[in-house]
Chain A
Amino acid sequence: MRCLRMLVRILVLLYLAGAPALAQTLCQPNASNGYRVRISIKTALGNQAYEWNENEMFLFRATMAFAMRRYYKTETYNVDNIIVCNQTRRVSFWFVVISPENPTMLIPKADVEKAVSMSRHRINNAFLLTDRTLEFLGIYPTLAEPVNPDTPPWLIVFGVVIGAVFAGIIALLVSSLLQKRRKEKGMMEDGQDEEDRQMKGVENGINLDGIYNRGFTDDDRFTKL
């Protein structure tokens, strides 16, 4: 009995010691169920860039666990379920997700992709980065839906301009018409005055005013062909 209990204890100890090692072997570059992550902090933040260290990595793993929880709608995922390896100075690394129930089983690539896509915005914001500066190689960001206003804005401006133009045309044409009518009325009155004056002149027998008699003009000098 005692031998059995010790055996079990040794096995448990071995298992606990070996689990991380086992987990590490699960995470490899070009693993079939892993993704490579590339982070460009300096490009995104310039002077306000923070340094990538163990704490940031912890945040990454926690965020990924959050994403998995959100996707599967369960509370079983934890930081330990996200395994990271091959970190470079770039900063880039590989990660895999292991199932909380069975530590030897990796979550398939497709599911990880869907989980990441669903919470991409939250993941980006946790690090103050964007789709371009926090890259999951192989997962393409979904493009934002185009905003389609009911009336295209250009039609509104067009309407305003054309309304103003029509108003201008009508105003000018009407004022032209009024001007012409006023001139005609004025000329008619002038014509009346002149006729009266001419009559007076003729009555006296002499052309007193010396008004140029429009009866004879120079027009006939040039005949039109």
Chain B
Amino acid sequence: IIRLSSLPNPGLDDRIPSHQELERMEKEEAGDRPKWDNKTQYMLTCVGFCVGLGNVWRFPYLCQSHGGGAFMIPFLILLVLEGIPLLHLEFAIGQRLRSGSVGVWTAINPYLTGVGIASLLVSFLVGMYYNTIIAWVMWYFFNSFQNPLPWSQCPVNANLTDLVSECARSSPVDYFWYRDTLNTSTSIGDSGGLQWWMVLCLLCAWLLLYVCCLRGIETTGKAVYVTSTLPYVVLTIFLIRGLTLKGSLDGIKFLFTPDLNELMNPSTWLDAGAQVFYSFSLAFGGLISFSSYNSVHNNCEQDAVIISIINGFTSVYAATVIYSIIGFRATERFDDCLEGNILALLNAFSLAEGNITEGNYAESLQNLNGTFPETIQSLDLKTCDLQTFLSQGVEGTGLAFIVFTEAITKMPVSPLWSILFFIMLFCLGLSTMFGSIEGTVVPLQDLNIFPKRWPKEAITGIVCLVSFIIALIFAQSSGNYWLALFDSFAGSIPLLVIAFCEMIAVVYIYGIDRFNKDIEFMIGHKPNLFWQVTWRFVSPLIVLVIFVFYFVTKVSSNVTYIAWNPSSEDFPTLEVLEYPAWIYVIIFILAGVPSLVVPGTAMFKLIRRCCSQFHLNSVNPVNLRMENNSISGHLNLPN
């Protein structure tokens, strides 16, 4: 193996606490840095941050669309080669340098402050749209306290003659989602004004987040006892309920049936890599921050492995539960379809009820087709295929708010299941938001944007307020399209850039040797060969490959989005529209600015240094040395 020595990094020792200072801080418990009450809080917070909505509504879809059980293979391989090393890296560096993301990267090298600022921006942008999804979840939760559920039947039109046309042509769940909840417009350009009920739900979501994050980990540490554990309880309840429903085992079988041919498809591996990466909430800065509140000798290696295993297990578990319910829904749809066809046949040929059943349907149809082909033709029977219904794989908001809600309406005591389901989604989302807020507030404090004497409550309040105001974009009629835009661009490319820079920074700029010694100091033994290989080569390579793939795909393809348009031809199929030209500016702000901040800050600091050096050179050559020291960093300890 080529021994790549780290890049020159003068003044590093002045910027970071030495091992002796760390020991002293540990003994004296000096400094007013917040601490975890106990290890459980820390683990639950990290698990909550990592386990989010993506585990429930992205992973099952990927699993099913990439060959079922076979998808586990690339997923698990990349979990081990990419997820665990990156997680360990973030935990270790946070615990060692005892600071949030901006503090850590500035300490490693002042030119790397941009990485921290990029994390800040990404946490801020992602937090904004993620909390809007929570607002939607809350809206559904509020509406679950009635029987029958509002999305179980179509509303009647004004003169009570028929069901509302938009609903009759699509379905009650579609109508409730697109019309009653979002009141969606037909394109992203058509803003349609603020929807007051959405604004209220958004306000509720941000206030609730504020009350939980008010005092940083003091309050979130208590909240995670509920938000991180409740989803598992609800998932188990749903599993038990699901397994007793007809057709659930078909769904689970469909999910896990392996199709090994998919392993030859490169996009399977790329999707697995991306899913592992986003699922771990890496590069947000939140994990570094959480880890920095630990005691110095906390075993971060063990934590990383445990949390990765929990995350992987949760993905598989959630997929099982979701697909048991989807299997049930598909079977219901299949039964309805078949029943409709049988009824049509019985009516057309005036046969007694019970003459044609599910069992002899195919046979009877063949007989009748033989004798009366024209009548059969005129009936326009639908083809009912269980596999088609099962593979109507939906992901994202479509899964939660359309497919799953429909399945819930078919269960007895629907309001109860609805309430449980949306509480689970709420907890999953909220615990991820804790990490997001942490990744926004702590860098702001480190950058001294606000005066130091302002209490944390005030800064958190300002962040929540500003986020709420900007997030009002998502409460418009076109809000859904804006959210999809944010999701595609703010939460994808910048994170890959940041993660890549993080690894290069730690391994080559901080120095892998120094890092190994640090870990030995913290947990008692040097990281073994697996960590060395993955940190130095494997993980950065994987992240780079995924980044290149994403970048090329996004840039080369026509950027389109899907819209709900009742007057379109293919209604209720969603219409594919192209983004208007001015959206590209927004896309650049979302994806380009955080990514460019990394080199941008470095250049800015370089220019500033050169300018002032030049200036001082001409005035007083003695000042040069002092300038060098002070430019290197200003991180006091402890911070």
Which stretch in A17-25, A54-62, A100-108, A150-158 binds the other chain? Answer: A150-158
Q: Complex: how many Å from CA A161 to CA B143?
A: 13
B204 within 8 A of A: yes
Contacts of B455 in A (CB 8 A): 176, 180
Residues 370-407 of chain B, each 1 if its beta carbon lies under 8 Å from chain A, else 0: 00000000000000000000000000000000000000
By beta carbon, the residue of chain A nearest B155 is: A146
In contact, B207 and A43 (Cβ under 8 angstroms):
no
**Per-residue 0/1 for B558-587: is the Cβ within 8 Å of any A Cβ (1 yes, 0 no)?**
000000000000000000000000000000
Instruction: In the complex, identify which listed stretch (B255-263, B475-483, B629-637) lies at the interface while the others stay far away.
Output: B629-637
Could you tell me which residues of chain B, from 175 to 228, have a CB within 8 Å of some CB in chain A? 197, 200-201, 203-204, 207-208, 210-211, 214-215, 219
Chain A residues 85-135 with CB under 8 Å of chain B are: 88-92
**In the complex, which of the residues B138, B197, B211 contacts A168, with contact meaning CB atoms closer than 8 Å?**
B211
* Complex interface: chain B residues within 8 A of A216 (CB): none
Residues of A within 8 A of B552 (CB): none
A42 CA to B203 CA, complexed, in Å:
52
Question: Which one of B141, B215, B629 lies within 8 Å of A172 (CB-CB)?
Answer: B215
Which of B54-62, B160-168, B311-319, B527-535 lies at the interface with chain A? B160-168
Q: Does A165 contact B (CB under 8 A)?
A: yes
Docked CA distance A225–B630 (Å): 6
How many angstroms between the C-alpha atoms of A157 and B346 in the bound complex? 47
Cβ-based interface call for B350 (8 A): yes
A224 interfacial by beta-carbon distance below 8 Å: yes
Is B160 a contact of A158 with CB atoms below 8 Å? no
Cβ-defined contact, A165 with B208, below 8 A:
yes
Contact A90 B346 (CB under 8 A): yes
With A153-B143, A153-B145 as known contacts, state yes or no: A176 contacts B160, CB within 8 Å.
no
CB A111 to nearest CB in B, in angstroms, measures 20
* B551 at interface by CB-CB < 8 Å: no
| Contact (Cβ within 8 A) B201 A158 | yes
Interface residues of A: mostly helix, strand, loop or mixed?
A: helix
Q: How far in angstroms is the closest Cβ of chain B from A178?
A: 13
- A184 → chain B, closest Cβ, in Å? 12
* CB contact under 8 A between A42 and B219, given known A154-B142, A225-B634: no
Cβ-neighbour of B211 out of A41, A172, A180 (below 8 A) = A172
Structural contact, B160 and A43, CB atoms closer than 8 A: no
Is B358 located at the chain interface by the 8 A CB criterion?
no
Compute how far the CA of A180 lies from the CA of B130 in the bound complex, rounded to whole angstroms. 33
The size of the chain B interface, using a CB distance under 8 A, is: 44
- Is B207 touching A92 in the complex (CB atoms < 8 A)? no
Q: Could you mark each residue 454-471 of chain B with 1 if its beta carbon is under 8 Å from any beta carbon of chain A, else 0?
A: 010100000000000000
Name the B residues within 8 Å of A91 (CB-CB): 352-353
Tell whether A89 pairs with B350 under 8 Å between CB atoms, given A154-B145, A168-B211: yes
A155 to chain B minimum Cβ distance, whole angstroms, is: 8
Asked if residues B204 and A169 are in contact (CB atoms below 8 Å), the reply is no
With A42-B354, A158-B200 known to touch, is A172 a contact of B207 (CB < 8 Å)?
Answer: no
Tell whether, in the assembled complex, residue A154 and residue B353 are in contact, meaning their CB atoms are under 8 Å apart: no
Q: Is the CB of B347 within 8 A of A90?
A: yes
- Please tell me if the beta carbons of B215 and A92 are within 8 angstroms of each other in the complex: no
Binary A-proximity of B349-374 (CB < 8 A = 1, otherwise 0) = 01111100000000000000000000
Interface status of B146 (Cβ within 8 A of chain A): yes
B201–A157 touching, CB < 8 Å: no
In the complex, chain A residues whose CB is within 8 Å of the CB of B204: 158, 161-162, 165
* Assembly CA distance A180 to B455 (angstroms): 10
Q: Are B353 and A157 in contact (CB-based, < 8 A)?
A: no
Q: Which of A48-93 contact B (CB under 8 A)?
A: 88-92
Which one of A89, A154, A172, A180 contacts B351 once the chains associate, using CB atoms below 8 Å? Answer: A89
B residues near A146, Cβ cutoff 8 Å:
155-156
In the complex, which residues of chain B have a beta carbon less than 8 angstroms from the beta carbon of A88? 350
Q: In the complex, A154→B181 CA distance in Å? A: 12
**A145 vs chain B, min Cβ distance (A):** 6
B139 CB within 8 Å of chain A: yes
Docked Cα-Cα span, A173 to B211, in Å, equals: 9
Q: How far is the CA of A61 from the CA of B354 in the complex (A)?
A: 26
B351 CB contacts on chain A under 8 angstroms: 89-90
Closest to A149 in B: B146
Complex Cα–Cα for A142 and B157 (A):
12
> B350, A176: Cβ atoms under 8 Å?
no
A-B contact list, 11 entries, CB within 8 Å: A142-B160, A143-B156, A154-B142, A154-B143, A154-B197, A158-B142, A162-B203, A169-B214, A172-B215, A223-B629, A225-B630
**The 7 A-B residue pairs with the shortest CB-CB distance in the complex, in nearest-first order:** A154-B142, A89-B352, A88-B350, A42-B353, A90-B350, A168-B211, A157-B142
B contact set with A: CB distance below 8 Å = 14, 138-139, 141-143, 145-146, 155-156, 160-163, 197, 200-201, 203-204, 207-208, 210-211, 214-215, 219, 343, 346-347, 350-354, 455, 457, 626, 629-631, 633-636
> What 18 additional pairs, Cβ within 8 angstroms, besides A43-B353, A154-B143?
A40-B353, A89-B350, A89-B351, A90-B351, A145-B156, A146-B156, A153-B142, A154-B146, A157-B145, A165-B204, A165-B207, A169-B210, A176-B457, A222-B629, A222-B634, A222-B636, A223-B626, A223-B634
